[in-house]
Structures are given as structure tokens and as C-alpha cells.
Amino acid sequence: MPNHPGFDGVGRVFHALADPTRRAIVERLVRKPAPVKALAEPLAMSLPAVMQHLKVLEEAGVIVTEKVGRVRSCRIEPKALREAEGWLSGQRTEWERQLDQLEDYLKGK
């Protein structure tokens, strides 16, 4: 996934967030960092499956994992999310501009 030719940084973030399990993990990590085991507990899947989801999030730059002793913990990396938010904001500005133009046209301005 990290070297996928069709994805830039923002594309990797959107790909990572496209999955509901990964979004649930991100929502938990936004509140506070957590060990992998704690992230896996509420999910109805094996630990290796959770690790695959974490790998996608980490490769997209959405999270950072750190191993201290025998415990691997995860935390949010805000930079990637900010870049995706910036892209969305730019799109919203363009959509609003086009809607304003349409409104002016329909009003005969």
C-alpha cells in the first residue's frame, strides 16, 4: 500500500479511513493513546487481523506505533489527518464557489 502508484499522502489517509474498523480505532486513539491489546479487545476479530488494520493506518501516517518492553502502543499522528482536512477544506471552498455562481446565474445576476 505505501508504494501504490495511485495514492499520494492524502489518498493513503482516505484509503485507511475508508474501513469502519480503522475509523473506530482512530476514534479511540483520538481520545488517548492505547496499547494494541486494548484496541483489539472490543473488536470482533483476531489480534493478527487488528494488527493488519494498524499497519494500514501506520503506513498512511495516521498513527504511530511504539514498542516499550513487550507492549506495543499506538497514538494518533495529527499531521496526516491535517493534510486530509486541508484537502477537504479546499474542495469545500471550490464547491461553495461553484454553488454561489449557480445561485447568481439562477437569480439572473
CATH number for the domain spanning 72: value is 1.10.10.10
In-domain check, residue 2: no
pLDDT at 6: 58
Mean pLDDT value across residues 62-85: 94
Mean pLDDT value across residues 24-45: 96
In-domain check, residue 79: yes
CB 60 within 8 A of CB 12: yes
Does position 2 have pLDDT exceeding 50, yes or no?
Answer: no
Per the structure, the count of domains in the chain is 1
Phi-psi region of 64 (alpha: psi -120 to 50; beta: other; left: phi over 0): beta
Neighbours of 36 (CB within 10 A): 18
The pLDDT > 70 percentage for the chain reads 94
CB 7 within 8 A of CB 15: yes
In-domain check, residue 1: no
The structure's pTM equals 0.79
Range of the domain at 93: 10-108
pLDDT in tens, 54-71: 999 999 999 999 999 999
Q: Which grid cell sits at 83? A: 493534510
